[in-house]
Chains A and B, each alone.
Chain A
Amino acid sequence: MRWSRSGYLTLLAAALLWTGGFFAAPLLHGAGHDGVAIFGRMFYAPVCHQDAARSFALFGWPLSVCHRCASIYIVFTAVLLAYPLLRRRTFFVSLPLSRLAIFILPMLLDYVLDVLGVWNNGAISRAVSGSIAGAGLAVFTVPAWMEAWTARKRHHDADHKEVAE
């Protein structure tokens, strides 16, 4: 498994900023900074419906994204945090697309069956199916990201070597 400390830290910083960002709005509301909190919510508006009734709450205020999105991002970040410990495990070899689909399927079923009236999804089903999708996305993308990052570094080092010669 390819590993780059700088590649890992870059991805981790982005994931932590993104995940921390949607926890910021309720904390800011709690601190009385409503204007800044709403501004923060506006940032996440293009990526989520932000229905307060379908969102986890912190100190009585909804997060900036819904149950499903929050679960995807939190679990993605959690898997990324655990990546240095897990990267030598056999399952952490870049996941084939067909297996990624298996991770996404529960989330799709949870949504589609609810729309069709066959199943009533709730906070738990949305969170669990979102978590499964988030884990699958992390297992699929993190090794690929490392592969791209280490290849970029190899090209960069090779170019510098040629210039030096």
Chain B
Amino acid sequence: MNDFATAKPSKLIPVLIGGGAITAISIVPVLNAVNCACCAGVMGGAVLGVWFYKKSFPADMPFAVGDGVIVGTLSGLVAAPLVTLLQFLMLGFASTDFSFQLQDEIDRAFSQAESQATDPAAVEAARELVMQLASTPFLLFLVGLLFSLVIFVGFGALGGVIGGNIFKTKIIAPPPAAN
């Protein structure tokens, strides 16, 4: 085994911090609008996790971009099920009138789509599809989880690349030897 790999600090806390930050940004109303800018909230949360991970490194241990990518990806992986679950709870999944509330949410979303002069036939087709999904909450949860996993893991990894590139240990080339 590589000594460097085994000696590296634990990723658990930074990943939980990154995942928690992504979850908070994605769940809190108004704040979650940040994700409308190419998932900036997800990338920001991943960068935060990478920053915490970098802080746990001893001064003499080099921090590489790859360390950032791993922390960012894992942060997204932690956040995806949390966000999906919390969104379901916020929709009233746990309450007895879940289907009523969900119907209300869907109606509101589709009224908005109709007001934007989208083709009525397409809106109706979509409504049917969503209502089919909504009739089986578990299936709806699985679809939501699948979407979240792809998006959060992908943008988490991208945030990890960005964070890793910001916080990586810069190797300064030695000055050329004088002749």
Contact = CB atoms under 8 A, between A and B. Distances in A.
Q: Do A and B come from one complex?
A: yes
Given A46-B35, A140-B165, A145-B161, A38 B126 contact: yes
Contacts of A151: 64-66
Interface in A18-54: 18, 29, 34-35, 37-39, 42-43, 46-49, 51-53
B161 A29 contact: no
Nearest to A49: B36
Contacts of B65: 144-145, 147-148, 151
Majority DSSP secondary structure for residues of B touching A? helix
Interface of A: 14, 18, 29, 34-35, 37-39, 42-43, 46-49, 51-53, 68-69, 72-73, 94, 97, 140-141, 144-145, 147-149, 151-152, 155, 158-159, 162
A72 B38 contact: yes
B24 interface: no
B166 A46 contact: no
Given A46-B151, A144-B161, A34 B2 contact: no
Given A148-B65, A148-B66, A159-B1, A34 B122 contact: yes
B39 interface: yes
Nearest to B4: A155
B148 interface: yes
A39 B129 contact: yes
A148 B2 contact: no
29 contacts: A34-B119, A35-B129, A38-B126, A42-B130, A42-B147, A43-B147, A46-B26, A46-B151, A47-B36, A47-B39, A47-B151, A48-B36, A51-B116, A52-B117, A52-B118, A69-B37, A69-B38, A72-B38, A94-B165, A140-B162, A141-B162, A141-B165, A144-B65, A144-B162, A145-B65, A148-B65, A148-B68, A149-B66, A151-B65
Interface residues of B, number: 38
A159 B121 CA distance: 58
Interface in B26-67: 26, 35-39, 64-66
A34 B120 CA distance: 11
B5 interface: yes
Contact of B66 (A69, A152, A158, A162): A152
B171 to A, nearest CB: 11
A136 to B, nearest CB: 11
B5 A155 contact: yes
A12 to B, nearest CB: 14
Q: Which 9 pairs show the lowest CB-CB distances between chains A and B?
A: A38-B126, A144-B165, A34-B125, A148-B66, A148-B65, A34-B122, A35-B129, A35-B125, A49-B36
B79 to A, nearest CB: 12
Interface of B: 1-2, 5, 26, 35-39, 64-66, 68-69, 116-119, 121-122, 125-126, 128-130, 147-148, 150-151, 154-155, 158, 161-162, 164-166, 168
Nearest to A73: B38
A52 B80 CA distance: 27
